[in-house]
Amino acid sequence: KKIAVLISGNGSNLQALIDDQTQVPELYEIALVVSNRPDAFGLKRAQQAGIPSLCIDHTAYDSREAFDATVQNVLEQATIDFVVLAGFMRILTQAFTRNFLGKMVNIHPSLLPKYTGLHTHRRALEAGESEHGLSIHFVTPELDGGPVILQAKVAIEPDETEQSLQQKVYHQEHIAYPLVIRWLCRGEVSLADNHVIYQQRRL
Ligand code: GRF
């Protein structure tokens, strides 16, 4: 399968997928990396791995619709099977999410439905939570609201800081995201009727 990874920044989750695809080259290939920011470090990661990448700078577009239409066009030209959002910090239009329904996933650093949006680690700490984590979900028009495929939890210790918590969640993200992408590409997980369907692995 051909996947595209959409990023805005560091791209550590992209790196986890770059590393994973070399383990299962017959299963999936990162065919394209798209960033909406020219300075995203993830673009360098893609270049270093020899993966085609481009920046579609959202500041050059008058509207979300125009930006999304350009991204969609690029993805369609590249005949992408799945779109993987990995630290992509733009809200996508309903038209875009509808177009890739069941074919687009996102990773969010909280145990959804708790803490949608930004600064999730800080907010979880401030709320006195005893655990935090990450969610990987299908993308639907509802922001951070699509059906969850997988969650991973981490404990919040008494001396936890925002940074230490972020590191713990990152560590789990880098294991969990490749796992889900493998399921997706094998057809072991899919979206039907706004629900996640799990299919037993064919041996
Ligand atoms: C991750 O925490 C991810 O859950 C969130 O944005 C962050 C991206 O980090 N959506 P990176 O760019 O993959 O390092």
ipTM metric = 0.95
Instruction: Examine residue 110 and state whether it is found in any structural domain, yes or no.
Output: yes
Task: Look at the alpha carbons of 175, 176, 181, 182 in this order and tell me if their dihedral is positive or negative.
Answer: positive
Please, where are the H alpha helices in 4-63?
A: 12-21, 41-48
List, for residues 69-122, the tens digit of each pLDDT value. Answer: 999 999 999 999 999 999 999 999 999 999 999 999 999 999 999 999 999 999
With the most atoms of ligand 1 within 8 angstroms of its CB, the residue from 5, 8, 12, 181 to mutate is 12
Instruction: Examine residue 81 and state whether it is found in any structural domain, yes or no.
Output: yes
List, for residues 162-175, the tens digit of each pLDDT value. Answer: 999 999 999 999 99
Query: Is any ligand 1 atom within 6 A of the Cβ of residue 133?
Result: no
Instruction: Examine residue 130 and state whether it is found in any structural domain, yes or no.
Output: no
In 79-202, at which residue ranges do the beta strands (DSSP E only) sit? 82-85, 104-108, 131-138, 148-155, 189-192, 195-198
Q: How many CA atoms lie within 13 A of 8 on its CB side?
A: 8
Q: Which two tokens stand for residue 3?
A: 């996947």
Q: Which residues are annotated as a binding site?
A: 11-13, 64, 89-92, 106
83 CA to middle of ligand 1, Å? 15
Instruction: Examine residue 60 and state whether it is found in any structural domain, yes or no.
Output: yes
Instruction: Examine residue 13 and state whether it is found in any structural domain, yes or no.
Output: yes
Query: Is any ligand 1 atom within 6 A of the Cβ of residue 107?
Result: yes
Instruction: Examine residue 16 and state whether it is found in any structural domain, yes or no.
Output: yes
Instruction: Examine residue 157 and state whether it is found in any structural domain, yes or no.
Output: no
Give the H or E element holding residue 5: strand 2-7
Separation of alpha carbons 114 and 88, rounded Å: 19
Query: Is any ligand 1 atom within 6 A of the Cβ of residue 85?
Result: no
Separation of alpha carbons 33 and 47, rounded Å: 9
Do β-strands 29-35 and 53-55 pair in parallel, antiparallel, or remain unpaired? parallel
**Overall number of domains in the chain:** 1
pTM strictly above 0.90: yes
**Domain span including residue 55:** 2-119+135-151+173-198
